[in-house]
Amino acid sequence: MKTIVLTRHAKSSWDHDVSDIKRPLSKRGFTDANLVSKSFGTYNVVFDAIYSSPANRALTTCQIFMDNLGLDPELLTIDKQLYDFGGNQVRRFIKSLNDDFEIVMLFGHNHAFTSLANSFGDADIDNLPTSGLVMIEFDVDQWQQVSQGETKLFLRPKDFK
């Protein structure tokens, strides 16, 4: 059994004259990431690995989740393949994961994450919002075999306001 948790970065700020990859979170982004991560913590999911896009907004969101979930920083790897907006790079990344890992969390971007949530999961998700997460379970033994799974959880910030 393999499980992937796709987490879209929190709301970013456009108030700074920086490149896309350096854009920080907005105040709302911090609030929403804290809301969702604290709620997700009640599910007591134990991760084998966590990966984040190198984009500032994704990495900061990841750090908020890791802090609120009490996760070991050693679990985190930053990977530029997750700085993808279409989804093909992320799909290849997922299919190349170490088969020793059963549960993996990814932090990244749209449209990639909404597209993957819909193609991998069995729920119809119109849009994975900022700070949103979707957990999909696959009845396979190897990440390369991942195709159609079951959407086990879909959390959005508006669910907790």
Neighbours of 111 (CB within 10 A): 13
* Locus of tokens 């449209």: 111
Domain boundaries, given as residue ranges, for the chain: 2-160
- The predicted pLDDT at position 161 comes to 78
Measured N-to-C along each axis, helices 112-120 and 88-95 cross at an angle, to the nearest 10 degrees, of 50
pLDDT at residue 28, as a whole number = 97
Q: Are 132 and 65 in contact (CB under 8 A)?
A: no
What is the mean pLDDT of each successive set of 10 residues along the chain, which is 161 residues long?
Answer: 98 91 96 98 97 98 98 97 95 98 98 97 96 98 97 96 78
Amino acid at 32: D
2-160 CATH fold: Rossmann fold (3.40.50)
| Residue 88, C-beta contacts closer than 8 angstroms, at least 6 positions apart | none
HSE (side-chain half, CA atoms, 13 Å) at 96: 10
Q: What is the pLDDT of residue 115?
A: 97
- What is the model's pTM? 0.97
Measured CA to CA, the distance from residue 28 to residue 146 in angstroms comes to: 34
Contact 56, 23 (CB under 8 A): yes
Model pLDDT, residue 62: 98
Beta partners for 155? Answer: 133
As a whole number of angstroms, the distance between CA 148 and CA 142 comes to 13
Q: Is 21 helix (H, G, I), strand (E, B) or coil?
A: helix
